[in-house]
Structure formats: C-alpha cells, structure tokens
C-alpha cells in the first residue's frame, strides 16, 4: 500500500505577506502531518498530564504553546484544519472539564494520567482517507506505535453517526483495534454527498476498551439496533479497507 500520499501543496501559505509566527507554526504543523515528516513519541496514554504537556510542547510537529495545555488547534486555511487533544478519560467517557479536573488534582499533589489522545484532520480540498490518517499517526507517534497499530486486531466496527444514515454513503464508520501496546480508533465522517473531508484517530489504553464497548452497547440498546460484533459474520468485523472509503 502506497503510504506517500499528500494533501496537496502547502507552499502558498508562506507566500502571503504579513504571515504571523503563529500562522507559520500552524503551516509547519499541518505540513508535517499531511506530508508525513517523521517524528518520535515520548508521551503516550498512561503517562501524566505534565509529561504529555511537555511532550506536546517539545514535539517538532505539534509545537504546543504552554498556554494550550492538552488541546491544540491549527489551520493554514479555513479549508485545512488539525486538532489534537489529550484527555484524562477514555473515548466515550464522561466527566468534568479536563482543565478543571487536572488543575484540581495538581493542587492536591496528584499527577493526573492521560488515558486517551485524539487528533482530527479536516481537508475540504483534497479530502481525508484512511491512508492519510495512518500516515498522520506514524508522523505524530513514530515507528514503534505505528508498527503496533499495523499489527493490531480489529475488535469492533461500528457507526457513531445517526441510525437513519446506516447502510448509506452518509454513514460514519469507526474501527476499534487492539495492539500489544495500545488500542486505536479510526473514524471517517462522510458529508451528505458521501465525500470524506474529516477523519479522526484516537490512541487509548487497552484497559479502557471494555468500557467503550459497554458504552456503545448501552447506546445501541437504547436505539434497539445493537448487534454485537462477536455474534455477526466475521467478515463484517474485518479491518476497514482504505480503498472502500477513499474521498469521492
């Protein structure tokens, strides 16, 4: 599978006169993620909030400002955006604000643990595909985590969107897989016409997968549409194939 996929040239972002330092930094972040410049991961789910913040500030791609803490938003144009967020909750978890909870624990001398990290790519020009999300995962987290993702086994495929969209080209699709190190969620979010301009990747603690499955099961039971992936045809639970969800 060709991993050298591009979101288009970003050179023009640096040609505008009066472009601010923040804008240049945003362009570098997006170029690194979209064009696949490699970097290494030193802070991951399971480490403290302080460690994650320090990693995000030192990361050559993320380049977080100290005031941003665990949430980063970058865009070179309104059509191309990137966000990164670390959370003390696993995907699907609820609770009070990360900042409120984190600061309270720090005041008590406790180091809050980051349980999941999620990044989102939006490209209204060239679209988003599974391959590009996988490339961004490799860029942000390095070869070891990327290899763990490639070896991971799918445990759940589901549609996070509206029930009425299921079975149509408008249905969002998400895949949960478990590796030896972490669990991963890749989600693509189609537009009403079926084109795909938004996608997300979450890296989470494996121990939080059962809670995520339970939350999804409760949601589906409420909708009376839940189907356990272990009881259906095994083919339906295979890894989402990139060629099946390329932008149209």
pLDDT for the residue 3 = 30
* Rounded distance between C-alpha atoms, residue 124 and residue 79, angstroms: 5
pLDDT for the residue 106 = 55
Q: Which pair of structure tokens corresponds to residue 90?
A: 């696993």
* pTM (2 d.p.): 0.69
Measure the CA dihedral 182/2/83/216, to 10°: -50
pLDDT for the residue 169 = 66
pLDDT band at 224, cuts 50/70/90? low
Interior angle at CA 242, CA 115 and CA 186, nearest 5 = 15
Q: What is the pLDDT of residues 41-69, one digit of tens each?
A: 556 899 898 888 888 888 888 888 888 88
* Rounded distance between C-alpha atoms, residue 141 and residue 59, angstroms: 10
CB within 8 Å of 122: residues ≥ 6 apart: 80, 81, 82, 128, 197, 198
* Rounded distance between C-alpha atoms, residue 71 and residue 235, angstroms: 37
Structural domain boundaries in the chain: 19-244
pLDDT band at 220, cuts 50/70/90? confident
* % of residues, the chain, pLDDT over 70: 60
Most confident of 42-56, 198-212, 216-230, 232-246: 198-212
């Amino acid at each position: 599978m060709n991993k050298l996929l591009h979101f288009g040239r970003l050179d023009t972002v640096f040609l505008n006169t009066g472009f601010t330092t923040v804008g240049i930094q945003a362009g570098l972040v997006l170029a690194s993620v979209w064009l696949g410049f490699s970097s290494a991961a030193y802070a991951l789910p399971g480490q403290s909030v302080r460690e994650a913040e320090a990693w995000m500030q030192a990361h050559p791609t993320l380049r977080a400002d100290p005031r941003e803490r665990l949430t980063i938003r970058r865009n070179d144009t309104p059509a191309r955006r990137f966000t990164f967020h670390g959370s003390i909750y696993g995907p699907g978890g609820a609770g009070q604000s990360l900042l409120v909870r984190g600061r309270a624990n720090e005041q008590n001398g406790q180091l809050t643990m980051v349980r999941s990290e999620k990044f989102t790519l939006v490209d209204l020009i060239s679209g988003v595909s599974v391959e590009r999300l996988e490339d961004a995962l490799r860029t942000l987290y390095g070869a070891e985590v990327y290899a763990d993702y490639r070896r991971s086994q799918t445990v759940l495929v589901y549609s996070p969107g509206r029930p009425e969209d299921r079975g149509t080209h408008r249905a969002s699709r998400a895949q949960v897989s478990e590796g030896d190190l972490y669990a991963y969620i890749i989600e693509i979010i189609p537009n009403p016409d079926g084109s795909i301009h938004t996608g997300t990747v979450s890296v989470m603690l494996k121990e939080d997968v059962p809670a995520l499955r339970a939350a999804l099961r409760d949601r589906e039971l409420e909708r009376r549409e839940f189907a356990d992936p272990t009881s259906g045809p095994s083919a339906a639970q295979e890894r989402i194939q990139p060629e099946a969800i390329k932008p149209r």
